[in-house]
A and B are shown apart, each in its own frame.
Chain A
Amino acid sequence: MASPPADRVTYREAVREAIREALLRDPRVFLMGEDVGRYGGAYAVSKGLLAEFGPERIRDTPLSESTFVGAGIGAALGGTRPIVEVMTVNFSLLALDQIVNNAATIRHMSGGGFSVPLVIRMATGAGRQLAAQHAHSLEGWFAHVPGLRIVTPATIEDARGMLWTALENPDPVLIFEHQALYNLEGELPAGAGAVDIDRAAVRRPGRDVTLVTYGGTLVKTLAAAETLAGENIHAEVIDLRTLRPLDMDTVLASVRKTRRVVVVDEGWRSGSLAGEILARIAESAFYDLDAPVRRVCSAEVPIPYPKHLEDAALPQPAAVVEAVRALVPAGAAA
C-alpha cells in the first residue's frame, strides 16, 4: 500500500496497515481477540490478515475478555508483543481486573523486575447507533490509572503510526479507536510510520479560544472551528492524542495565548477527563484566563439507540460554537 506519493485511505485501512507492518517487522507480535480471525474483526480492521499471517499470529479467542486479556498479559511477560483487540470499551470492563490490577501494576509490584509490553486496542464512542452497551466513551476511566498509557488516534496518520510506537513501549498501552472514525478517509503520506505519542498536536492554529479535544470529537471540533472562523473567531484546536500522561505544556501554552478554553469530550461531564483538564488549567493558568472555562460533553444518559436521540446526546459542532460564542465577545476578539 505505502507506495508512491500519498494514498487516500480510510482510518480502518490505516489501522490494518499498522498491524500488518508490526506483524511483518517483529515476529514476536501477534493479534488476538474476538472474531479477529475468520470474521475479520467487528469493524473489519483485521480482514485478510488471517490468510496472510495464519492462525498462530491472528488468533480468535472465546467470548471471555478477562481470559484473553489475561492471556495477553502473560504472553507479554513471556517475551512476546501481543496486540489484544477488545471489541468495544464496554466489554473491556469484563477485563478491568486484568488491566487495572495486573497489567498496570506488575512493573511497580515487581520493583521494576517485570514489565508488560502489551497493547490493547479497543473501539470506543458512539455515533453508529449501537446503543448503550456498545457506545460509551470510557477511556477517561482508564486514563485515571497509573501504569497505563492511553492513546487516542484521531487522524489517519495517527491511526497508522501510533501502534508501532505503542508496541515499542515497555509498559501497557491502550489504544482507543473511535468507531465513528473507521470510515474516515484521508491522505496518508507515503512512508508514514511511527508517530510521537508523547505530545498533543495543534490541529488548527487560532488566537481567540482554545478547543481541547481528542479522538472522535476532533472532526466535530474542527468543523466548529471552521464555522467560528466565518464569524471572525479564530479557534485553536488541540488534539490531546495521549490521555495519560497528559501533555499539559501544549494545552497551557495555547490557553495562555488565547486566554479562553473549551474542552470537547464525548465522555460524560461528571468525573470526566474534561474536568481533569480544566482543573489543571485552573491550577496552572488561572491568571491567564479571560473567561470562565467551559466544556462540551455527552448528555449524562446511557447513549440512546435512535439516531436523533443519539445525536442529541453527543457533543456536536453547534454546541461547541455556542459555547465559544458565550466566551468570546462579538467583534472584540483580539
Chain B
Amino acid sequence: MIEFRMPSLGADMEAGTLVEWVKKPGDPVARGDIIAVVDTEKGAIEIEVFDAGVIESTVVEPGAKVPVGTLLAVIRAPGEGPGAPAAGAAASAAAPQPPSAAAPSPAAAIVTRARVSPAARKRAGELQVDVGAIEASGPDGSITVADVERAAARRRAPAAPADRATSMRGAIGAAMARAKREIPHLYLTTTVDLSRSLAWLTAENQRRAVADRLLPVVLFIKAAARACVEVPAVNGFWTESGFTAGAGVHIGCAIALRGGGLVAPALHDVDRKPLDVLARELADLVKRARAGGLRSSEMSDATITVTNLGDLGVESAYAIIHPPQVAILAVGRVVERPWVAEGRIEPRSVVSMSVSADHRATDGREAGLFLAAIDRALQAPESL
C-alpha cells in the first residue's frame, strides 16, 4: 500500500484544505494524474499523484483542513490485492464480482451528478460558485437559486478575498522571514546588453502571428536555464543535509496575483524546451495561477526562481531566496542607455539582472559565473 499524504506546496505551506477528490476509491491512477484539489493560501492547487496504482480508500473528507504530511488516501500498488476488509474499503461494496473492479465507477458517476436547476446554473455562473459543492434543497434533491446564493454568501463570509490576501501575505511573510533569518544572502548584479536578443526577437516576431509572438522574458528564462546547466551550484535545494542539485532545471516564475499576493510555480525542464513551448507554457501558467488550478508539482519543485519586475518599471532589484532553493534571479526593466561598444558610445537596450545566492550552498564566484553565462546566452539568442 502506498500512502498519499498532504503535500507541501512550498516552504510557506503548513496546512491545506481538501476541496475535492478528483479520483475516488476504485479509480486507477498513473504518475502525474490529478488526484485531488487542495486549497492553500495561494489558491486552489491540483494535486498530482506520484505512484501508479488503484485508489484503495480516501481518508480525508472534502472540506477538512489538515497539516502537511497528513495521510489523505491509500493507493494500492499494481499487483497488490485489495486491502484487508478494514477501515474505509467502501469501493468494493458495490460490486461483488472482483474482475470488473473499475466497472461500477461510471454508474456511480451518473448517480452522483448534481441536479442543478437551469436558473441555479446560471446564477452559479454569475456568482462563480462551484455547484459541485452545494447543499441541495430543491425538488428531487436539486440545487436551486436559493442554494447557490446561500453558498455564495457563506463563501463570502469566512473566506473572502481580503481574507485570502491576508493569509497569503502571512504565509509569504513567514517564508521570507525564514529566508532572511536562515539564508546568508549574497548579491551580484550585472547589466546585459540586449541589442542582439531584441533584434533577433523583432525579426523572429515579424514572422509570427500576433498570438505566437515571443516576449523578452521567455528569453531571460531560457537563458537562466542554460546558465543553470553550466553552473549547477545555483540550481537545487538546501536542506538539513546540505545542498542537493536539482534533478532538472525547473524555473519558478514569480507571478503577481490580482488582488495581491504572489506565487512562483515552476516551468519544468526549461533548458530542454524550445522557446515556443516555453512561451505557451508560461502563458498557461500565468493564466492558471490567476484563475486557480496550479498543480502540486508546479508549486513544490522549482529549483530556482526568476522574478521579472521590469514590467512594473523597476530598473533593478535584489530578491529574497525562496527556501529551500538556493538562488533567485531578479530581472529589471529593459531600458535604452548610452553604451560603450567597440570604443564608441551607442544607444543600446540593456537590462539589469541580479542574482541572490545562498552563501551556504555557493559563493560569489559561481553566482558570477551564472550571471556571465546568462549574458553569454543572451548574446546568441538564435541558439536559445
- Taking Cβ atoms with an 8 Å cutoff, the residues of A that contact B are 259, 286-292, 326-327, 329, 332, 334
Q: How many A-B residue pairs have CB under 8 A?
A: 42
Q: What 9 A-B pairs come out closest when comparing CB atoms?
A: A290-B119, A329-B137, A290-B117, A287-B118, A290-B144, A287-B122, A259-B119, A290-B145, A334-B146
Chain A residues with CB under 8 A of B105: none
Contact A291 B144 (CB under 8 A): yes
Contact A291 B146 (CB under 8 A): no
* B138 CB–A CB distance under 8 Å: yes
* B98 CB–A CB distance under 8 Å: no
* B120 CB–A CB distance under 8 Å: yes
Q: How far is the CA of A92 from the CA of B121 in the complex (A)?
A: 47
Besides A287-B122, A290-B138, A334-B149, 6 other A-B contacts (C-beta < 8 A): A287-B118, A289-B118, A289-B119, A290-B119, A291-B144, A329-B146
Question: Which residue of chain A has the shortest Cβ distance to B116 in the bound complex?
Answer: A290
Most buried by A among B117, B122, B140: B117
B78-130 residues with Cβ-Cβ distance < 8 A to A are 117-122
Query: Does more than half of chain B's interface fall in helix, strand or loop, or is it mixed?
Result: helix
* B139 CB–A CB distance under 8 Å: yes
Chain A nearest CB: distance from B127 CB in Å? 14
Contact A287 B119 (CB under 8 A): yes
Chain B nearest CB: distance from A276 CB in Å? 20
Q: How far is the CA of A118 from the CA of B23 in the complex (A)?
A: 70
15 contacts between A and B (CB under 8 A): A259-B145, A286-B118, A287-B118, A288-B118, A289-B117, A289-B119, A290-B120, A290-B138, A291-B139, A326-B139, A327-B139, A329-B138, A329-B139, A334-B146, A334-B149
Question: Which residue of chain B has the shortest Cβ distance to A289 in the bound complex?
Answer: B118
Q: How far is the CA of A288 from the CA of B142 in the complex (A)?
A: 15
Chain A residues with CB under 8 A of B119: 259, 287-290
Q: How far is the CA of A292 from the CA of B118 in the complex (A)?
A: 9
Most buried by A among B119, B121, B145, B146: B119
Residues 137-156 of B, flagged 1 when their CB comes within 8 A of A and 0 if not, give 11110101110010000000
Q: How far is the CA of A289 from the CA of B149 in the complex (A)?
A: 15
Contact B117 A291 (CB under 8 A): yes
Residues 7-24 of B, flagged 1 when their CB comes within 8 A of A and 0 if not, give 000000000000000000
Q: How far is the CA of A291 from the CA of B146 in the complex (A)?
A: 12
Chain B nearest CB: distance from A322 CB in Å? 12
Residue from A286, A288, A292, A332 within 8 A of B146 (CB atoms): A332
Q: How far is the CA of A253 from the CA of B119 in the complex (A)?
A: 14
- Whether A291 contacts B122 in the complex (CB less than 8 A), given A329-B137, A332-B137, comes out as no
Chain B nearest CB: distance from A284 CB in Å? 12
Most buried by A among B120, B138, B149: B138
Chain B residues with CB under 8 A of A288: 118-119, 122
Q: How far is the CA of A286 from the CA of B120 in the complex (A)?
A: 11
Chain A residues with CB under 8 A of B139: 291-292, 326-327, 329
Chain A nearest CB: distance from B145 CB in Å? 5
Chain A residues with CB under 8 A of B145: 259, 290, 334
Chain A residues with CB under 8 A of B144: 290-291, 329, 332
Q: How far is the CA of A329 from the CA of B142 in the complex (A)?
A: 10
Chain B nearest CB: distance from A259 CB in Å? 5
Chain A residues with CB under 8 A of B146: 290, 329, 332, 334
Question: Which residue of chain B has the shortest Cβ distance to A325 in the bound complex?
Answer: B139
Chain B residues with CB under 8 A of A326: 139
